[in-house]
Every structure is written in structure tokens, then in C-alpha cells.
Amino acid sequence: MTQNSKTGAAFIAGGTIAGAGVSATVGGMGLAGGFGAVGIGATPVAAAGAGAGAAVYGAINAIAQGDAAAFAIMGIGAVGGAGVYSVVGGMGLVAPKVGLAFGIGAVPMAGIGAVVGLAAYGIAKLLDESEISETPAQLFERMEEKVLLMDYYSEAVMELEAFLSGEDLNQKFAVLEVKDELQALKGEFKKKSEFVTPKPSTPNIEAEKISLTTQLPETWRCVRTLKGHLAAVNAIAISPDGTTLVSGSDDRQVNLWNLKTGKWLYTFSGQAEAVLSVAISPDGKQIASGSVDCKISSWEMDTKKFLHTFFYLNSPYSHNGFVNSVVYSPDGAILASGAADKTIRIWGRYTGTVKRTLNGHSDAVLSVTISPDGKTLASGSADQTIRLWDVKTWQQRYILTKHLGAVNTLAITLNSQTLISGSTDATIKLWNLQTGKLLSTLTGHSAAVLSVAISPNGKILASSSRDGIIKLWNLYSGKLLQSLSGCSPVAFSPDGKTLVSGGNGGSIKIWSQIQSFDKFTLDSVLSGEWWEVLGVNQGDHPKDVKLAYRRLARLYHPDVNSCAVVDIPKASMQAINGAYKEFQEQLNAYKCQ
């Protein structure tokens, strides 16, 4: 192999690895257009990286050798890209979890075609210089094998992390099955309880202070899993009376559920693309959804009748970008929406006409919310800022700039005093809504925070992250109360006794509180099929299942999971171990066939 061919191979390998890194960082992506919507996994992104590397190598060769053929091939590729656009029409690339969304027009398509042509030229030069008869597909197949090695490298890093932390996970999992340890844990808990002496009675206000700064006694368990969507659930909303749940999904459907029984009630159809946001009016009579198709649709809750689409002036769309968030005002008179076109629009609920457009963000608006007192609208954006708007004048009051990543989610406490934000920087921040002052920062998530929700009594904050972990916090002290295995989004019922979250794939998890030992049973912490307990898809690669198992084991191990009910960490580990054992048995049975 010549020196030039080695250089070319290095460019392609570097591009492949860079593509795989982008996929690992950004998460799920999709391509949407008139043909529908398709997902883009790690392999296509790695392939795109390899193509980019080949294109760079081709450009270097063309410039160095003055080869006019390269420019001719680029021209052919550009014409081909424009031809694809004329046939397929407008397209868009979206990665909802990080707020990435932009359109691909005729000019970008021509540019992509030119790059593809240049990549083909680069690969041809590489094969010619290397003096081997290997097709581009065979070349990428070799590169793909290298990409897969990166996953094993990540797994090795996790093993090393466990070793350096001094935890022998396998040994500790075995110890968990020994009854003596359970008795020791119970004895330790009882011993601690004996040393707690009663305190003299204090005035009510002091007693209230103490209760706000100590760990709440409630713990949560998954009591039901709802299955009905065919793809990931992006948004949920609960009716004011707490009886009905609405969910929006990548499968383009909005589903209606009985929250008490878990029964599916109805499916609202009509969105041309994935549904990113849903909302229920304060009177419980109207549902609104925002979609990748750039439209906001609405229906009557009782009759299930389609009402209208919110069209912007003479446009056939509501926004010029994906509608990431919709919310009704407390009085139900208006609907606010935030979109990838960097704008916030205010709509008349009944007429569906636009009243005002708020400009100011320099990137996609990912979340909007209105304070319970109806005075302030808050918007979070991929530009890493939060903007506070006066609802009466629609003037901008404050710009909050402490986050180091996209602001994915917002919530406001019932007293309209505190704003909570979750960001791609993996932090949660609490702000004074009236002054814009940063009050505190909660850290603990290992990946982007995608959704936050506040319990009606204002004591508990729920947050969900891209790593598939839900955390419950004491909102007053900032102390972590419990970690759960679940996905975004999250929402509390109006009575605060139920937490709803996204589950694996197209499922939805319903969580309830446990307040005493009497209500606790060993099978009540994690429930469902083995893949639901481990938070994976049934058909996932074994190495992905193993990584999920190890992550959950570290999360629920009694040494790191303090809980008011001592038996819960042990029961959690039993459920996780049982699920992983069932997976291994099925895997072994499949191998024997």
C-alpha cells in the first residue's frame, strides 16, 4: 500500500469514527419529508462520516494533481442532488432530544450531491493507489467493524470505572441474595431508629420548616405499563380532573387513555409527522398537539371531533419549523407554541388565529410554559437561554443565561414564584421568576435533562434524562429522594399521587406512592417484562442489554440507593437480576436452536 493510500484510509477511518461519535452524542435522528419520516441510526451516520472523510481526501488529491475529472464528478453529483430534490421535495433533519432541526432545500441537496461525487472520486483514487480490487461497500464494511469496536471500548471503560471505584459488582449482587445481609440492613435501620429521640413540640411554622428539609417518606413504584404507541412517546398531558391521559408519539398519533384503569380510549389521527407536544385546556374540553409537520392541531375531548389547524396568516402551516411545545394559558383563552423557527406564537384558542409572534431567540424554541397566575410566559431554547415575557404587554422582561447547553424543558411552581429549567448540560436550575435570579443548581443526572415536573403540593420535583433515569428531588432542600428507571416525558397527576413517564419504546409507565411498610411488597418496585425492567427494546443487541443491566445495578444497589423503606433497594436488585437472568436464558435458548 502506498503512502497516499494510507493517508486516504486514515481520512475515511477518521470520518467513520467521527460519525459514530456524533451519533453517540446526539442520539436518535430522523429525516422527514413528503415521503414520511425515517430514523437514522449509528451506522448511517458513521457511513456519512466515512463519506465526508473520502470527500476531503478526494479534494486534496484533486487540488494537488489538478485533476479536472474531480470537478466534473462534483458537477454530476450536484445535478443528481438537485434532481433528488425535484422528485422528493423539501426535507428536514431532526434530532428532537437536542433541539436540532433544519430544512434541506434545493441548494443544500445540490451541495450534498457534490460532496457525494467528490467522495466517490476520493474512494476511486484510494482503491487505484492501493492496488487492491475492493469495492466501496467492502471498504466501509471494514470501517464499520472498527466502529463496533468503539462500543466494546465504552463497555470496557464502564468495567474499569467499577473497578476503580472499589465495587466488585458481581460479588455484591451475590451477597444481595443472602438473607443475613437483609437482616443486617433491617437491624441497622432499627438501631438508627432507636437513637432518634422525640423532640419537644414547636410552633407550627417551625414544624413546617423541619418537614421541608427532611427526606419525604414516600417512595414510588411502577404499577402499570400502557402499551399502544408504535414508536417513542414524546409528550404527555393529564386532564385537570386527573382521569384522562393524552400522549403524543413518533408514530404520528395522539392517544387518549383512562389514567385510573390504564385503558386505551381513542386515537386522534391527522398529523403527517411525529407528534412532539400535547396540551389539554384548563377546562378539560380541548386537546392541542404540535408536530414535526409544522402544524398545531386541536380536537374536542368529549366528542373526539377535530376542531381546526392553527394556520399562520395565509401559510398552510402554524410555524416554519417543528412545533416543539404547546401550552394553554391558565384562563384557557390563548395557546402558546414554540418551534424550531426560533419563534413563539400566541393563538386564540377558539378562533385558531395568530395574535402575536414573539421574536428574540437565536435558535429553536424547545419549551414554553405560562405561570399559574397568568402573568409570565417563559421560553427555553437551543440558544442556551431562557426568556421571560410579560403576558399583558408581551414585552421581554429577563434573559437568563446560566445554562451551558440547550434548555429542553421548563416548569413553574403553583405559587408562580419559582421557575425550574432542565438542560442538555445535565443540570437543573431553580430561578426566582419575579427577578430572574438564579437560586440553586441541582446536579446528579449523567446526561441531558429532557423533562421536569412539579408535584401539586410543590414539594417534589421529578426530572428525566436521556440516560433513561428519572430522579425525584425534595424541591426545598434540593436533596435527591429516589431514582427510577424510566424515560421522558414526566408529569404529575393533579392530586400528586400518580407520576406518569415515558417507558421503553412506545410504552408509558404509571407510578404510585408507597408510604409505609404495610403497602410494600417485594414485587412492587420494578415490574413488567424483562426488557421493560431493564429499559431496553426486546430485540436490542446483547451488549446493549448488558450495559443497561450494569447501569441499573449501579443505580439500585443498596450501597448507593438510600431509601426510607430499607427493603426497596434489595427488591429492586432482585427484580433487575431476575430480568437479566430471563434475558440470558432466552439468549442461550436461541443460540441452541
294-346 pLDDT, tens digit per residue, is: 999 999 999 999 999 999 999 999 999 999 999 999 999 999 999 999 999 99
Centre a 10 Å sphere on the Cβ of residue 102 and count the other Cβ atoms it contains: 13
Q: Could you tell me which of 331, 283, 330, 335 has the C-alpha nearest to residue 309?
A: 335
**What is the C-alpha to C-alpha distance for residues 586 and 200, in angstroms, rounded to an integer?**
59
Q: Cell 434524562 maps to which residue?
A: 465
Does one domain contain both 183 and 102? no
Q: Is the peptide bond before 494 cis (omega within 30 degrees of 0)?
A: no
Does one domain contain both 349 and 493? yes
Cell numbers found for residue 475: 424541591
**What is the C-alpha to C-alpha distance for residues 365 and 303, in angstroms, rounded to an integer?**
32
Backbone angles phi and psi of 482, in degrees to 5: -165, 150
Q: DSSP letters along 301-343, please? A: TTT--EEEE---TT-SSSSSS-EEEEEE-TTSSEEEEEETTS-
What's the mean pLDDT in 334-361? 96
Residue 564 is predicted with a pLDDT of 43
Q: Could you tell me which of 422, 419, 483, 418 has the C-alpha nearest to residue 451?
A: 422
Cell numbers found for residue 579: 430480568
How far is Cα of residue 227 from the mean position of the Cα atoms in its chain?
A: 19
Q: Per DSSP, what are the bridge partners of residue 295?
A: none
Please check whether residue 4 is in contact with residue 130, taking contact to mean a CB–CB distance below 8 angstroms: no
Residue 556 is predicted with a pLDDT of 67
Does one domain contain both 156 and 171? no
Task: Kindly tell me the burial class for residue 448, based on how many C-beta atoms sit within 10 Å of its own C-beta (0-12, 13-18, 19 or more).
Answer: buried
Please check whether residue 299 is in contact with residue 307, taking contact to mean a CB–CB distance below 8 angstroms: yes
Task: Please identify, among 515, 532, 563, the residue that sits at the C-terminal boundary of a domain.
Answer: 515
**What is the C-alpha to C-alpha distance for residues 460 and 224, in angstroms, rounded to an integer?**
21
Cell numbers found for residue 322: 417543528
Residue 147 is predicted with a pLDDT of 47
Backbone angles phi and psi of 336, in degrees to 5: -110, 145
Give the rounded percent of residues in the chain with a pLDDT score beyond 70.
57
558 pLDDT more than 80: no
Residue 208 resides in a domain: no
Residue 205 resides in a domain: no
Determine the Cα angle at 393 with ends 325 and 399, to 5°. 60
Does one domain contain both 96 and 18? yes
Please check whether residue 556 is in contact with residue 484, taking contact to mean a CB–CB distance below 8 angstroms: no
Residue 552 is predicted with a pLDDT of 74
Residues 304/309/310/314 CA torsion (nearest 10 deg): -160
Q: Cell 430522523 maps to which residue?
A: 30
Per-residue pLDDT of 20-63, as tens digits, reads: 666 555 655 666 665 555 556 556 666 666 667 666 666 666 66
**CATH number, domain at 500?**
2.130.10.10
Residue 64 is predicted with a pLDDT of 64
More confident residue, 242 or 54: 242
Cell numbers found for residue 405: 447547553
Q: Per DSSP, what are the bridge partners of residue 288?
A: 279, 298
Please check whether residue 382 is in contact with residue 99, taking contact to mean a CB–CB distance below 8 angstroms: yes
Task: Please identify, among 492, 515, 538, the residue that sits at the C-terminal boundary of a domain.
Answer: 515
Backbone angles phi and psi of 501, in degrees to 5: -140, 165
Mean pLDDT over the full length of the chain: 76
Cell numbers found for residue 327: 401550552
Residue 101 resides in a domain: yes
Does one domain contain both 556 and 506? no
Residues 23/485/576/251 CA torsion (nearest 10 deg): -60
Backbone angles phi and psi of 60, in degrees to 5: -60, -45
H/E stretch holding 590: helix 567-592
Question: What totals of helices (H) and strands (E) does the chain contain, helices first?
Answer: 11, 32
Please check whether residue 566 is in contact with residue 185, taking contact to mean a CB–CB distance below 8 angstroms: yes
362 pLDDT more than 50: yes
Residue 177 is predicted with a pLDDT of 42
Does one domain contain both 591 and 533? yes
Backbone angles phi and psi of 131, in degrees to 5: 60, 35
H/E stretch holding 449: strand 449-454
Does one domain contain both 33 and 153? yes
Q: Read off the DSSP letter of residue 415.
A: T
Give the gyration radius of the chain's Cα atoms: 27
Does one domain contain both 155 and 297? no
Does one domain contain both 152 and 173? no
Count up the domains in the chain and report the number. 3
- If phi over 0 gives left and psi between -120 and 50 gives alpha, with beta otherwise, what is residue 410? beta
Q: Read off the DSSP letter of residue 521.
A: -
Task: Kindly tell me the burial class for residue 211, based on how many C-beta atoms sit within 10 Å of its own C-beta (0-12, 13-18, 19 or more).
Answer: exposed
Does one domain contain both 105 and 254? no
Does one domain contain both 576 and 461? no
Task: Kindly tell me the burial class for residue 76, based on how many C-beta atoms sit within 10 Å of its own C-beta (0-12, 13-18, 19 or more).
Answer: middle
197 pLDDT more than 50: no
Does one domain contain both 238 and 312? yes
Q: Cell 487540488 maps to which residue?
A: 63
Residue 530 resides in a domain: yes
488 pLDDT more than 60: yes
Residue 550 is predicted with a pLDDT of 77
> How far apart, in Å, are the Cα atoms of 327 and each of 5, 58, 530?
56, 50, 36
Residue 204 resides in a domain: no
Determine the Cα angle at 270 with ends 268 and 275, to 5°. 75
β-strand pairing of 275-280 with 286-291: antiparallel
What contacts 24+ positions apart, CB below 8 Å, involve 189-196? 189/566
Residue 25 resides in a domain: yes
pLDDT band at 536 (very low <50, low <70, confident <90, very high): confident
**What is the C-alpha to C-alpha distance for residues 350 and 306, in angstroms, rounded to an integer?**
13
Q: Taken in order 387, 473, 492, 324, is the CA torsion positive or negative?
A: positive
Residue 87 is predicted with a pLDDT of 57
Residue 207 resides in a domain: no
What's at 268, amino acid-wise? F
**CATH number, domain at 530?**
1.10.287.110
135 pLDDT more than 50: yes
What's the mean pLDDT in 470-489? 92
Residue 203 resides in a domain: no
More confident residue, 3 or 74: 74
Enclosing domain of residue 55:
3-160
* Range with lowest mean pLDDT among 3-7, 74-78, 421-425, 560-564: 560-564
